[in-house]
């Protein structure tokens, strides 16, 4: 029998969808994310400052309220909140609501635009909890849709509904608007056994890297007639055409392996493939955030790039793509964006943010803040930057890299605006900007990333500059670095721009 009267008790007491070993949740060690455990699924999310976290199960990704809910239990030793639920099938959709010091749980609170329990949008400590703004799992292996998707627009909504503050949204106070029916959901995945083939382990000094965008690589119609385009050139006999329904997908990129190999490349480096907000882009034009540098999910392959968008499809198709390159003796690197997330920053007013994930779980832990608790973005220019003084940010990066190496089969990474990962802003006063900008070659996260690469024979390459500094030559031994000034000088010289002195200085 299912109770519908109390928040957190809307679930069966026994059988499928019932809590399992509930008394042990506060002592358990379930890993972060959603994981199949026998016939059950465990759920775990991090928050140091939340006071209550509610797990919700949904029947559909868009347009419906949650079917079941459960109060998670916190383990004080690691600040991870956990649950275990019986007989949860793969493909299940889930999300969370968080209460905290600035908005504690009030028994009068209910779904559907409630202000019960509200104190303030942001408190003196920087907490920004809002139970009306539902959150997807930072560790979700796949995400159902983007926060601004065509189906959401068709229902008359847009990204402004995720905002906090006292402004108006369709006649509702923004902080009170319930985003549960609309927010992206995490998807429970069964373990995927798709092979990624054998790693080539090419020495870095022998690598010739082709940088490509998964969608842009094959979206043009010429990808479907590639064999004819190169028919007169020796060495291209094995090149494949890309079927029209695979253009712009992981499956289409897989068919380019033989072509790129014939060109002489050893490695393909893919621009960001982590989930980002691009669902509303047209198929015949790049659209907003085409390049993918506003990441939302560091474990989820972007669903828009999958020919098969069904639950598990993007993961399986990505791994098949990796295998296609490995079968040709080529490596696959990923461009990763850990310096900031796609959640943006303050909308002018300090009361206003639009979190759908990280910041909603714990803005103080995930993000760098000013003394007035505004989000900092001076190094990134993207609304926020992750705070690598805190272990939760270290863990997020290391867990994501390990997942893509061990489970998804990739061979290396290029780190966007990598100096952000080498700063410890909490070591200095929040307004001491000289110290805030300081880069630490000995930062423990940089060492951990290097050590992971060495243990997995994977390359770790820094874009060694950001808006706060140019750190080429300053990353620890074992890291590779992009040399931006060399690149720019060579490019200008080859274009005939007359920069002979700069060219000679670089060579």
Give the number of other CB atoms < 10 A from CB of residue 282.
7
Tokens describing residue 341: 């997330």
Pairwise CA distance, residues 126 & 135, whole Å: 18
Helix, coil or strand: residue 268: strand
Pairwise CA distance, residues 302 & 133, whole Å: 23
The sign of the torsion formed by the CA atoms of 74, 366, 184, 170 equals positive
Determine which helix (DSSP H) or strand (DSSP E) holds 36, and give its type and residue range. Answer: strand 33-37
The answer to whether residue 269 is catalytic is no
Determine which helix (DSSP H) or strand (DSSP E) holds 53, and give its type and residue range. Answer: strand 52-58
Among the options 148, 416, 466, 471, which is catalytic?
416
Tokens describing residue 306: 């999958």
Cα–chain-centroid distance for residue 381?
18
Q: If you count DSSP H runs as helices and E runs as strands, how many of each does the chain have, helices first?
A: 12, 20
Pairwise CA distance, residues 179 & 132, whole Å: 6
Beta strands in 205-263 (DSSP E): 209-212
Tokens describing residue 155: 């229902």
Among the options 137, 142, 246, 463, which is catalytic?
463
Give the number of other CB atoms < 10 A from CB of residue 505.
11
Pairwise CA distance, residues 274 & 336, whole Å: 8
Residues 6+ apart with CB under 8 A from 89: 188
The answer to whether residue 137 is catalytic is no
Helix, coil or strand: residue 412: strand
Residues 6+ apart with CB under 8 A from 203: none
Q: Which residues are catalytic?
A: 416, 463
């Amino acid at each position: 029998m299912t109770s519908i009267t109390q928040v957190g008790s809307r679930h069966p007491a026994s059988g499928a969808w019932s809590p399992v070993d509930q008394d042990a949740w506060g002592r358990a060690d379930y890993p972060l994310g959603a994981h199949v455990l026998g016939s059950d699924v465990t759920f775990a999310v991090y928050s140091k400052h939340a006071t209550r976290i509610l797990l919700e199960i949904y029947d559909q990704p868009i347009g419906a309220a949650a079917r079941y809910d459960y109060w998670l239990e916190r383990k004080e030793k690691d600040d991870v909140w956990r649950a275990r639920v019986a007989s949860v099938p793969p493909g299940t959709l889930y999300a969370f609501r968080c209460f905290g010091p600035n908005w504690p749980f009030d028994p009068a609170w209910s779904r559907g635009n409630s202000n019960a329990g509200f104190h303030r949008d942001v408190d003196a400590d920087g907490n920004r909890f809002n139970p009306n703004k539902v959150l997807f799992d930072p560790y979700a292996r796949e995400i159902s849709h983007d926060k601004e998707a065509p189906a959401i627009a068709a229902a008359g909504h847009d990204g402004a509904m995720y905002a906090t503050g006292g402004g108006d949204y369709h006649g509702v106070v923004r902080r009170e608007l319930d985003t549960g029916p609309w927010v992206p959901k995490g998807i429970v995945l069964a373990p995927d056994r798709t092979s990624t083939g054998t790693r080539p382990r090419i020495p870095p000094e022998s690598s010739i890297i082709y940088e490509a965008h998964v969608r842009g690589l094959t979206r043009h119609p010429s990808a479907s007639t590639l064999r004819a385009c190169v028919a007169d050139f020796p060495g291209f006999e094995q090149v494949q055409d890309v079927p029209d329904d695979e253009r712009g997908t992981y499956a289409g990129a897989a068919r380019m392996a033989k072509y790129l190999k014939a060109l002489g490349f050893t490695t393909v480096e893919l621009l960001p493939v982590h989930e980002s907000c691009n669902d509303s882009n047209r198929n015949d034009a790049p659209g907003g955030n085409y390049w993918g540098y506003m990441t939302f999910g560091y474990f989820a392959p972007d669903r828009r790039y999958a020919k098969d968008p069904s639950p598990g499809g993007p993961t399986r198709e990505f791994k098949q793509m990796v295998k296609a390159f490995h079968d040709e003796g080529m490596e696959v690197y990923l461009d990763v964006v850990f310096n900031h997330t796609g959640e943006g920053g303050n909308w002018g007013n300090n009361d206003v943010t639009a979190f759908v994930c990280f910041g909603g779980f714990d803005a103080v832990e995930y993000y760098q803040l000013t003394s007035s608790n505004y989000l900092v973005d001076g190094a990134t220019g993207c609304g926020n930057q992750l705070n690598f003084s805190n272990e939760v940010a270290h863990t997020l990066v290391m867990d994501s890299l390990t997942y893509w190496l061990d489970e998804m089969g990739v061979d290396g990474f290029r780190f966007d605006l990598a100096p952000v990962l080498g700063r410890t802003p909490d070591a200095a006063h929040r307004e001491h900007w000289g110290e805030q900008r300081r880069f630490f070659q000995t930062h423990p996260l940089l060492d951990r990333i290097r050590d992971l690469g060495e243990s997995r024979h994977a390359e770790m390459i820094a874009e060694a500059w950001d808006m706060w500094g140019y750190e080429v030559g300053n990353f620890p031994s074992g890291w590779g670095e992009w040399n931006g000034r060399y690149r720019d000088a060579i490019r200008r010289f080859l274009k005939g721009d007359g920069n002979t002195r700069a060219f000679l200085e670089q060579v």
